[in-house]
Amino acid sequence: MASQMDMTLTLTVLAGLAGLAVFAGWRGARPPNPHKGPRLMPWRFIMLLAAAGTLPMIVHVLNLLGVTTGNGRGP
């Protein structure tokens, strides 16, 4: 049976995704080194996915704090 994510787990996931987005953004912004060959990790795409994943976590934190989000027509 799945239970609701509590504040600690939500903040941990949020910090992990934000950290991954910052790290991947830093790695993706580095200039390419042709002597080492092509990059094998798509750092900019990883940054985009991690940054997009932080948005639902921020909304979830706000919901846990009692802020009403959405239009109220959901299940």
CA distance 39 to 20: 18
Taking residue 57's Cβ as centre, other Cβ atoms within 10 Å add up to: 19
**What pLDDT does residue 62 have?**
92
Mean pLDDT in order along the chain per 10 residues (75 residues)? 78 97 96 87 96 95 87 66
pTM for this one?
Answer: 0.82
